A and B are shown apart, each in its own frame.
Chain A
Amino acid sequence: MYIGKPVKRIEDLNLIRGRGQYVDDIVLPNMKYVAFVRSERPHALVKVRSDVPFYGGEVINPGLDFPIVSKETTYVGQPLGAVVGRDQYEVHDMLEEVEVEYQDLPYEVDPRKAMKDEVKVYSKLDTNVGLRKEFVAGDPEKALKESPVVIEGELRNQRMIATPMETRGIVAWFDGRRVNVWSSTQSAHFLRRNLTSFLKTDVHAVQPDVGGAFGSKIITHPEEYAVSFLSLKLGIPLKWVPTRTEEMMSSGHGRDKSLSYKVGTTRDGVITALVGTVIGNLGAPYQDAYDDESGNVLSTSRMILGPYNIRNARVEALGVYTNLVPTTSYRGAGRPEGTFFIESIMNELSLELGIDQLEIRKRNVVKSTPYQNAFGITYDSGDYTEILRKSEPYYEDFKRRAIEEGLCVGLGMYVEITGFGPWETARVYVKSDGKVVVISGAGPHGQGDGTAFAQIAADVLELPIEEVEVQWGDTAIIEDGIGTWGSRTVTVGGSAVMQASQMLKDKLKQAGSKVLNVDVEEVEYEGGKVKDRGSGKALDFREVVSGAYKLGIPLDVTAVYPVTRPTSPYGIHMALVSLDRETGTAKVRDYLAIDDVGNVINPMLAEGQIHGGVLQGISQALYEGVVLEEGRVVNLNVVDYLIPTAVESPRMKWEHFTFGVSSHPTGSKGIGEAGAVVATPVIMNAVSQCLGRQVKEMPWRPA
């Protein structure tokens, strides 16, 4: 069995030798470069005059301002059009030859003000409120009135920038028949569908190696539409790779939500009512981003109930357009905000009522699963009380150390939704020499799912893992696919791989029986061999395969695995944090993650996901966040926008339990986002415990 073992990654061998192939490593004959002219104003009418060939919105999407501006720009960094030149250096020279005349219009970057519709962020909008939905359960107003304790306030979860180490980038080439693109994306198939409908031309999309994404490469970006369009128009291969500054001014902006709340409890800290309004800042009205982020605002709102049994609740969810970069998914995609809100509230209650942090969670936690939360989300399996009990000795130890060393303990509990649908594909085939090829319709870009797929296929087919090769990210090699996001890949993609492998196994059995010339009921498949039970005669894997080829039996199957419901991992994380009383500087000393993510396919990879997610979550609490001045983000490089180094990163420990598996064939639940979902409130709660009052804005800045 490979499943459950810390199998080393099959992805690594190329990457540690500098032999990866990221999009900027791709060079095609006669390839030219593209660079974009970007808006310097948050809201303005623009006129472009250029001494060099310039391809603006009027060429790419006449009469429209998205993806490329024709007339009216709605955020700083928005692409106004492109120039094409010999290399990176020449195109940047050419940008100097383009002159933009701006006629400034009033702008608004604060969603609370934009909601009033006094300033339209885009002239074609009827209202800046792009999304409004209410979730209600029980009688929250009455329950609130009857609650002996009521707390209220506003929590802010700031705008972040995903900042993968590789920026976006695309190479596009029209070969006379179809447009071929190689893009730093989270899904070749999703990109293909979008480009095909935009260009009205067939598109072949490839996702090469991708240097991380964290949600920022899900949507199809304006530049991807534009470069593909220009390759079709100009008939030459084109490459576009932005600078880091450009990337930060135009992509990967996430979070940026606030909650105003009233929460009622009993004197013992049991929540009786929760009433609140979530306001999500959607940024400018780019439809692709809206389709992504509006769902995240709803996730936030429905997940505010957390792992707690809250039956009287009302949450109004608002998504508001502003003159900022269109907001998109960032690791966790709405769930971190919801978790931050409820976990901050838990901690505030603990401080207000003087009830221990763990104890107050015990009093509120969901008692049994499956459980449907008041806003209709099902937490499928697990034991929330039990995981709190398991965490107790660790927590006691942290508390003891906190006293001894003058530190503070922060806690955070979470429940998540992962393994989104609607489906995922997997294709498995065998070459005539016996090599097994697994192809996934998902699009891993660092998470190591290729290795997990190999483990799954090798187990089902009872073969050594070395016999299995895994591929993905090319629309020409598998029917279709969804992609990698929402912590879905191992679970949904892996279930597809499991099913396809089982289908292939059946085929191998049939083929073996034909080669052996006996009924299929007479044979059994074991360890890659097909054996005739009667005669005891066995064919090894290669004999079955070459026999199948000779008899004309294809060994190539595709499974489409439909998702009937998402699955919910949960856990409790804690940290020991020091707060310098003079400077206010907080530092994370120790971090412990305790998770139940169902069956763990590869604990080494799962732990790696926790490490990475946790540091991103810590960083939201202590370091990251955009700084705005006059409608523009001013910290647009990785110094001013602080990405943590190894020095800021604490030692992290991971424990996992399996009290509940998912109903998917893999039994697994997603872990890709969990760390980022819960680490932020853990750290903020520790800081708040140090101060004796709840801090409600991030990143933590000593006042």
Chain B
Amino acid sequence: MKVVNANEKVSIKLRINGKDYEDVVEPRKLLVHALRDLGFTGVHVGCDSSNCGACTVIMNGKSVKSCTLLAVEANGADILTIEGLEKDGKLHPIQEGFWEKHGLQCGYCTPGMIMEAYFLLKENPHPTEEEIREGISGNLCRCTGYQNIVEAIKYASEKMNSKTD
């Protein structure tokens, strides 16, 4: 069993957006801060009580609030952040949907919102409006009133389905 004391640092490995990173962190460091310090500043902090979802990333296929995980807990994990969504300079259909449908204003919740939508559409490619609203209920937005976010996710779902079907 490996024991690390409070003042010691640990080295961890993270696979982020398909690339390997090594980092040396205090055990108490939150994953959200580790990601931001590695340059993934699209991952945002909006609260200190795990409610807002601005810090949402995909970890090992699941959407997680990265403010509620320690960086050391994520050792060895495969993480997808907003910066990794674009492929070969082409926007992901969800990103496109947010642009087309005016699903963002200040843009602060947007990365987390898009990652949650990514997870939602993977789990449920044909969500109803209600399922979309439920699906993003862990992600707060203060600007849009959500309606255009719902439209953006519908847009993406249609676009992604027409591609794969």
Contacts and interface: CB of A to CB of B under 8 A. Distances in A.
B73 interface: no
Contact of A604 (B26, B28, B102, B138): B102
Contact of A18 (B29, B33, B42): B42
B106 to A, nearest CB: 3
Contact of A16 (B81, B108, B114, B147): B114
A614 interface: yes
A19 B107 CA distance: 10
A559 B140 CA distance: 39
B143 A612 contact: yes
Nearest to B111: A18
Interface in B64-86: 81-83, 85-86
B42 to A, nearest CB: 2
B158 interface: no
A18 B40 contact: yes
B88 interface: no
B54 interface: yes
Interface in A180-212: 209-212
Nearest to B50: A639
B150 to A, nearest CB: 7
B86 A17 contact: yes
B48 A164 contact: no
Contacts, number: 172
A211 B107 contact: yes
Given A166-B108, A212-B105, A12 B142 contact: no
Interface stretch (A101-109, A445-453, A474-482): A445-453
Contacts of B148: 608, 611
Contact of B147 (A89, A166, A447, A652): A652
Interface residues of B, number: 56
Nearest to A609: B105
B22 interface: no
Nearest to B98: A16
A604 B105 CA distance: 12
B142 A214 contact: yes
Interface string B38-68: 0011111111110110100000000000000
A446 B107 contact: yes
Interface stretch (A375-383, A510-518, A527-535, A640-648): A640-648
A339 to B, nearest CB: 19
Contacts of A651: 147
B146 to A, nearest CB: 4
Contacts of A243: 48
Contacts of A615: 145-146
A25 B106 contact: no
A643 B86 CA distance: 31
B104 interface: yes
A142 interface: no
A595 to B, nearest CB: 15
Nearest to B149: A646
B55 to A, nearest CB: 11
Contacts of A612: 105, 142-145
A593 to B, nearest CB: 11
B95 A16 contact: yes
Given A20-B42, A649-B145, A639 B110 contact: no
Contacts of A277: none
Interface in A465-523: none
Contacts of B44: 22, 165-166, 211
A448 B105 contact: yes
A604 to B, nearest CB: 5
A212 B47 contact: no
A17 B42 contact: yes
Contacts of B51: 637-639, 643
Interface string A358-391: 0000000000000000000000000000000000
Given A17-B82, A615-B145, A445 B49 contact: no
A608 B144 contact: yes
Interface string A20-32: 1110110000000
A558 interface: no
Given A165-B140, A446-B107, A637-B48, A608 B41 contact: no
A646 B143 CA distance: 12
A690 B31 CA distance: 48
Contacts of B111: 18
10 contacts: A17-B85, A89-B26, A165-B142, A211-B44, A243-B48, A608-B105, A608-B143, A611-B146, A646-B139, A675-B145
Given A12-B107, A612-B142, A647-B134, 11 more contacts: A8-B102, A16-B98, A17-B91, A244-B52, A245-B49, A445-B106, A446-B143, A611-B144, A643-B140, A645-B136, A649-B147
Q: Which 7 A-B pairs have the closest CB atoms?
A: A18-B42, A211-B108, A15-B107, A446-B106, A611-B145, A18-B82, A615-B145
